[in-house]
Structure 1
């Protein structure tokens, strides 16, 4: 990476929340001994929350940008370098559902589309998109 680097990461409080939820579900699993359905449900919830917390530990920075391009999390915790020349479009897709607005940052390379939420970035998607576009053009 060359020059200044911008980074967006998962907020630490969300990581802690996921870890606490995994612990709470683990306790619920132990307390459900004797109830097979309860153990299965609580155990599945424990596993899911633990995996989400682990992903946040292994790949806390979900998006970074420098003069050469972007590095984006791909898959569970892999990283992929995308040169600026391969980025066709950066936009925010905003949807309204049940009186709630959500935005997703879309980075389109033509071959792949990377989708990142506000929870992945730790900042509003439109703000990140604006920063990326101005960083890319140098303005």
Structure 2
């Protein structure tokens, strides 16, 4: 990268989120043990849910950066912890989708790359999707 080019911008999972998920998994196991009694089904279900939650927390630790942008393009997370590089020419649109259900509004950053659509929520980015969309647009505009 040359000194004139802008630095890489990154958005990642909030650092506290994996810990919260791990604590939630422990609470699920504790509740399973508490309510199991003679029946093992609640314990097995709690164990399965806790394992899924721990897997989700592990993903946050292994691949905390969900989105990165530089003058050449963006890098998005793909699969469990893989990365996919998209040049700016492949990015068709960047927008924020807002949905209101039961009085709650959820915002999702959508990056349309033609054959693929990449979605990011507030907790994927540790920033409001509107701010990230503006930053991506600015990086993309500076690259042209």
TM-score by structure 1 length? 0.92
The question of 1:22 aligning with 2:44 is answered: no
Runs of 5+ consecutive residues of structure 2 not aligned to the other structure? none
Residue 33 of structure 1 contacts residue 39 of structure 1 at CA under 8 Å; is this kept in 2?
A: no
Corresponding residue number in structure 2 for 1:97: 101
* Structure 1 CA distance for aligned equivalents of residues 15 and 103 of structure 2: 28
Residue 8 of structure 1 contacts residue 122 of structure 1 at CA under 8 Å; is this kept in 2?
A: yes
Corresponding residue number in structure 1 for 2:111: 107
Corresponding residue number in structure 1 for 2:72: 68
Greater Rg over alpha carbons, structure:
2
Q: Deviations over 1:10-36 (max 9, x none)?
A: 001111100111122233344436322
* Structure 2 CA distance for aligned equivalents of residues 57 and 63 of structure 1: 15
Corresponding residue number in structure 1 for 2:88: 84
Q: How many residues align?
A: 139
TM-score by structure 2 length? 0.89
The question of 1:41 aligning with 2:61 is answered: no
Runs of 5+ consecutive residues of structure 1 not aligned to the other structure? none
Residue 71 of structure 2 contacts residue 142 of structure 2 at CA under 8 Å; is this kept in 1?
A: no
